[in-house]
Amino acid sequence: MIQIDKVEVFGWEAAIRGMRNSFNSWDKSDSRYNADSGRYEVGPADIELMDRLSRSGPSHAKFLRYINVTLDITAPRYWWAEMDTYKVGTVRNSCSTMHKVQAKEFERADFSCEHLDEESLAALDTLISVMNRARDRFNNCGKNKDDWWQMIQLLPASLNQKATVQLNYQVLQNIYFTRKDHRLDEWHTFCRWIEELPYSQLIIGKRS
Give pLDDT tens digits for 108-128: 999 999 999 999 999 999 999
Q: Which amino acid is at 189?
A: T
Largest CA-CA distance found in the chain, in angstroms, rounded: 71
The rounded mean pLDDT for the chain is: 92
* 207 pLDDT tier (thresholds 50, 70, 90): very low
Looking at residue 1, its pLDDT comes to 95
* 99 pLDDT tier (thresholds 50, 70, 90): low
User: Rg for the chain (alpha carbons), in Å?
Assistant: 22
Percentage helix, strand, coil for the chain under 3-state DSSP, each rounded to 5: 50, 20, 35
The overall pTM is greater than 0.85: yes
pLDDT in tens, 65-75: 999 999 999 99
Give the three-class secondary structure for 183.
coil
Give the three-class secondary structure for 59.
coil
Mean pLDDT within 57-67: 92
Q: Residue 185: CB partners within 8 Å, gap ≥ 6?
A: 2
Q: 13-27, 40-54, 77-91, 134-148: which has the minimum mean pLDDT?
A: 77-91
* 206 pLDDT tier (thresholds 50, 70, 90): low
pLDDT in tens, 32-42: 999 898 888 99
Give the three-class secondary structure for 23.
coil
Give the residue from 48, 71, 56, 45 showing the smallest Cα distance to 172.
71
In the β-sheet with 91-94, what is the strand arrangement from edge to edge?
Answer: 3-10, 68-76, 160-168, 91-94
Looking at the predicted structure, is the pLDDT value of residue 131 above 60?
yes
